[in-house]
């Protein structure tokens, strides 16, 4: 199963394409605003609005053999702890080996932003190379996830 934290996910179409080719079911989890897919492998899960409701829904279900697509680092940490494989939108895998550092960096950046409210800038734009890296990483991750349950 692939779980997608779908509200602000820039790679939903790529997930659907890979899942269709590999015949893997997908649950796109969102607060709403997303159109249902006619693809029978894609299940739209609409959760109530509220802080982290979609994250909680995914974290309660993801485990070994599953792949979670998210840019939300605390959600990623919960899913890694549960045994799921986690992939960011840019193709970066989040694992037990790196999630601690990623969480620490996230917290540090949040502290820096809070200390300087006039700090400008943000992340770099999502590029074509990120999309290609994601597709390749998702294919590899699904292969590894299949091994997790056999």
Q: What is the pLDDT of residues 40-90, one digit of tens each?
A: 999 999 999 887 899 999 999 999 999 999 989 899 999 999 999 999 999
Kindly calculate the radius of gyration of the chain based on its CA atoms and give it in whole angstroms: 15
**CATH number for the domain including 136?**
3.40.50
More confident residue, 115 or 140: 140
pLDDT of 125 reads 75
Domain that includes residue 71, residue range = 2-148
Average pLDDT over residues 111-128: 67
- pLDDT exceeds cutoff 60 at 103: yes
Q: How many domains does the chain have?
A: 1
Please compute, for residue 58, the number of CA atoms within 13 A of its CA located in the half-sphere on the CB side.
37
């Amino acid at each position: 199963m692939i779980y997608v934290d779908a509200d602000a996910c820039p790679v939903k179409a790529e997930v659907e394409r890979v899942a269709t080719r590999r015949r893997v079911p997908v649950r796109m989890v969102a607060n709403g605003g997303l159109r249902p897919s006619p693809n029978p492998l894609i299940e739209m899960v609409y959760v109530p609005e509220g802080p982290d409701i979609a994250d909680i829904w995914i974290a309660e279900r993801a485990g070994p053999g599953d792949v979670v697509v998210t840019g939300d680092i605390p959600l990623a940490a919960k899913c890694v702890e549960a045994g799921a494989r986690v992939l960011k939108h840019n193709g970066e895998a989040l694992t037990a080996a790196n999630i601690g550092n990623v969480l620490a960096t996230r917290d540090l950046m949040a502290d820096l932003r809070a200390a300087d409210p006039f700090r400008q800038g943000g992340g770099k734009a999502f590029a074509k190379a990120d999309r290609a890296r994601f597709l390749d990483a998702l294919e590899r991750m699904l292969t590894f996830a299949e091994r997790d349950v056999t």
